């Protein structure tokens, strides 16, 4: 069984949500941790755990970040971590996996399925084995009590319910 730890210097944990239903706002978590354990070289038997520090959220707008940390959204004071734990992995192609697991945001845990593409495995200049993944999926923010809503004067939605998750991650074999 091999264990891999996330390399935070070569990883991005991003999300994208429609604003006013005409453009996207992208944000990221700057502080996170993740571990993958697997026996199979194709990661088809992998077990994945992940957590992100809600206070590390950044959308490049201090006021919006403060709002996201408030009880209208994540309530970082009461629920400082977002977590994911895989329940199964399904191989769907040569380098493609579906990762099924439980995502916890605030006090809500729901099953989600994420698509993972294995970018490859490489030994770096220091003799460390690295593996890269591109992971994506969509969640419904209101399912996790991220329920703040506003409507424009014209009746348009300010923030979409759909949140796209976009992770580009690199792991180091331990």
pLDDT above 70 coverage of the chain, percent: 90
Is 148 or 52 the better-scoring residue by pLDDT?
52
> Residue 78: is it exposed, middle or buried by C-beta count within 10 angstroms (0-12/13-18/19+)?
exposed
Q: Could you tell me the two tokens for 116? A: 């993972």
* Residue 64 pLDDT: 87
Reported as a pLDDT band with limits 50, 70 and 90, residue 158 is low
CA–CA distance, 67 with 76 (Å, rounded to integer):
10
Q: Is the pLDDT confidence value at 20 over 60?
A: no
Provide CB contacts within 8 A for 8, sequence distance 6+. Answer: 31, 32, 33
Q: Are 52 and 82 in contact (CB under 8 A)?
A: yes
Which single residue is written with the structure tokens 């792991």? Answer: 171
Which single residue is written with the structure tokens 């976009």? Answer: 166
Q: For 115-157, what is each residue's pLDDT tens digit?
A: 999 999 999 999 999 999 999 999 988 889 877 665 445 544 4
Q: Is the pLDDT confidence value at 93 over 90?
A: yes
Q: Could you tell me the two tokens for 35? A: 């571990």
Which pTM does this prediction carry?
Answer: 0.91
Domains of the chain: 2-173 (2.40.128.110)
Is 157 or 91 the better-scoring residue by pLDDT?
91
CA–CA distance, 133 with 83 (Å, rounded to integer):
18
* Residue 141 pLDDT: 86
* Residue 86 pLDDT: 98
Cα 28-34-40 angle, rounded to 5 deg: 130
């Amino acid at each position: 069984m091999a264990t891999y730890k996330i390399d935070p210097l070569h990883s991005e944990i991003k999300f994208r949500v429609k604003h006013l239903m005409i453009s996207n706002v992208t944000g990221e978590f700057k502080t996170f941790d993740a571990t993958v354990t697997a026996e199979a070289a194709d990661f088809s038997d992998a077990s994945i755990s992940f957590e992100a520090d809600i206070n590390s959220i950044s959308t490049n707008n201090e006021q919006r970040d403060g709002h996201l940390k408030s009880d209208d959204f994540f309530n970082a004071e009461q629920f400082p971590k977002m977590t994911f734990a895989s329940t199964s992995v399904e191989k769907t192609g040569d380098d493609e996996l579906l990762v099924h697991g439980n995502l916890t945001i605030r006090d809500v845990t729901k099953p989600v399925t994420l698509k993972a593409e294995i970018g490859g495995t490489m030994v770096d200049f220091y003799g460390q084995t690295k593996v890269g993944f591109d992971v994506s999926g969509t969640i419904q923010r209101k399912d996790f009590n991220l329920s703040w809503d506003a409507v424009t004067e014209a009746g348009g939605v300010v923030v979409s319910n759909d949140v796209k998750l976009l992770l580009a991650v690199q792991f180091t074999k331990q």
